[in-house]
Amino acid sequence: MRASLFALILCAIIPGGRVSALDDQTVKLTRAPIGTPIVVTPGQEFYAQVEAEPTPAYHLQAPFKSSMPGTMGLPFGFAIDADTLVFVYESPSGWDYFIPPNHQYRAWHSLLGSVLRDGDTVGLRVGPAGQKEWFVDNSRYAGQPKLWTRPIAPTDPALKPTEVDFITEQAVERLIYLGLSGRDRAKIRFAKVTARKTKNVDFTFPLDAEGRGVGAVNGAEFTIKAAQTEAVITVIKAMTSDVGRPLPAPPRQNVGATPAI
Q: Does residue 246 form part of some domain? A: no
**CA atoms of 224 and 208, how far apart (whole Å):** 10
Residue type, 71: T
42, part of any domain: yes
Condensed to tens digits (0 to 9), the pLDDT of residues 48-58 reads 887 767 789 99
Q: 169-196 pLDDT, tens per residue?
A: 557 889 999 999 988 999 999 998 876 7
Task: State how many domains the chain has.
Answer: 2
Same domain assignment for residues 177 and 207: yes
The C-alpha atoms of residue 170 and residue 159 are separated, in whole angstroms, by: 29
- Break the chain down into helix, strand, coil percent, rounded to 5: 5, 50, 45
Residues 72 and 43 in one domain: no
pLDDT at 84: 92
Collapsing DSSP to helix, strand or coil, 67 comes out as strand
List the domain range (segments joined by +) for residue 178: 6-54+168-237
Alpha carbons 222 and 224: distance in angstroms, whole number = 7
The pTM of the whole model exceeds 0.85: no
Rounded Cα distance between 40 and 176, Å, is: 9
Asked whether the predicted pLDDT for residue 256 surpasses 50, the reply is yes
Q: Which residue has the higher pLDDT, 9 or 216?
A: 216
Residues 29 and 73 occupy one common structural domain: no
Q: Let me know whether 205 and 229 are in one domain.
A: yes
pLDDT category of residue 43 using cuts at 50, 70 and 90: very high
| C-beta atoms surrounding 199 within 10 Å | 11
- Evaluate if residue 106 carries a pLDDT over 90: yes
pLDDT value for 157: 95
Q: Which residue has the higher pLDDT, 108 or 243?
A: 108
